[in-house]
């Protein structure tokens, strides 16, 4: 009786064969297949390629700088007028912004908001006493985070759960959306403006909670009363450092993961290994960073309320 091969071994064998065939056909990935029409005729041929990793990184993460270096007018969004309008607006205001990067970020944030809205409407529509899989997953996330809130802040402050759940789901979807294989899709959290905005919002909620539970004067005395607290300036710096630390932790991990995936993908021509990298940095690291950011926000609230 012959022994059956394991499905995992078959998959590994298939990937290995594909890798060898691609290396052989592409000449160490110095060539690529070009498929299309030329002079009314359908053609498939090998063409030489020049791959500059530095340029690819600049194009991916500093898109405005890339087009400035090459003197091109981007047409990624299918509308020069839209790009020119953002370019015109970038000249005004105290802080100039990059038109292409800004539009790309705003577009991705809009997509994330639409995805969250569709997710919420779908789960609400399918609510039932005998829950479906989507409802079970959402209830598991909600109840798990509710337990953290109750243990950190107390049972009587479980009403912070919707805020914590919303924060976690928003960051998680932002981290996951970059895995969708659509050109132009990127993680909004790899743009520093998004983590900084989230960090600033967290600190605002922390101090609003402290004022609510301790009173405005009792809370502000820690920062404006040099008699009660001689080191009040250090406390102010500490509050600013909260924004910086919580934001840069999220930004650095997501951006670093995206750069590593791009670099390794360029070395092995997007075959085999980057699939595992995408799963690790996209799903595992993205989920962990969303959870860490959320737990830090919850801890900051707990510390201020307890003092």
pLDDT score for 237? 81
DSSP state of 181: -
pLDDT score for 160? 92
pLDDT score for 78? 52
* Nearest-10 crossing angle of helices 99-125, 193-214: 60
Distance CA(136)–CA(127), nearest Å, equals: 10
Q: What is the pLDDT along the chain (307 residues), one digit of tens a residue?
A: 445 556 667 766 776 676 556 555 554 445 555 555 566 666 656 555 555 666 667 767 677 676 777 666 555 555 566 666 766 766 665 445 567 777 788 888 989 999 999 988 888 887 777 777 778 888 888 999 999 999 988 888 888 999 999 999 999 999 988 877 676 788 899 888 899 999 999 999 998 988 888 888 777 777 776 666 667 677 778 788 889 999 999 999 898 888 887 777 666 654 545 556 667 777 888 899 999 999 999 999 988 887 5
Residue from 201, 288, 284 nearest 242 by CA:
201
Distance CA(291)–CA(169), nearest Å, equals: 9
Q: By 3-state DSSP, what share of the chain in percent is helix, strand and coil, each rounded to 5?
A: 75, 5, 20
Residue from 93, 29, 9, 14 nearest 269 by CA:
29
pTM: 0.75
pLDDT score for 39? 61
DSSP state of 186: -
């Amino acid at each position: 009786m012959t022994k059956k091969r394991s499905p995992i071994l078959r998959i590994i064998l298939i990937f290995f064969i594909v890798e060898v065939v691609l290396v052989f056909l592409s000449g160490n990935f110095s060539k690529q297949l070009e498929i299309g029409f030329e002079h009314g005729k359908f053609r498939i041929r090998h063409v030489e390629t020049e791959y500059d990793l530095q340029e690819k990184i600049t194009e991916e993460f500093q898109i405005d700088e890339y087009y400035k270096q090459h003197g091109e007018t981007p047409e990624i969004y299918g509308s020069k007028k839209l790009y020119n309008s953002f370019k015109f607006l970038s000249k005004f205001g105290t802080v100039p912004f990059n038109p292409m990067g800004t539009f790309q970020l705003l577009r991705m944030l809009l997509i994330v908001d639409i995805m969250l809205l569709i997710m919420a409407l779908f789960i609400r529509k399918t609510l039932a006493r005998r829950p479906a899989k989507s409802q079970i997953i959402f209830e598991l996330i909600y109840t798990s985070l509710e337990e953290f809130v109750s243990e950190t802040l107390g049972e009587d402050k479980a009403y912070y759960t919707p805020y914590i759940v919303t924060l976690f789901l928003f960051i998680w979807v932002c981290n996951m959306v970059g895995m969708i294989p659509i050109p132009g899709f990127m993680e909004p959290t790899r743009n520093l403006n998004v983590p900084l905005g989230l960090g600033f919002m967290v600190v605002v909620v922390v101090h609003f909670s402290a004022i609510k539970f301790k009173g405005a004067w009792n809370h502000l005395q820690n920062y404006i009363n040099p008699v009660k607290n001689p080191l009040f300036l250090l406390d102010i710096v500490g509050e600013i450092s909260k924004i910086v630390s919580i934001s840069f932790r999220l930004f650095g991990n997501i951006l670093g993961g995206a750069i590593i995936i791009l670099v390794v993908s360029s070395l092995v021509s997007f075959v085999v290994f980057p699939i595992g990298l995408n799963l690790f940095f996209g799903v595992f690291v993205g989920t962990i960073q969303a959870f860490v950011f959320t737990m830090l926000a919850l801890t900051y609230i707990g510390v201020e309320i307890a003092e």
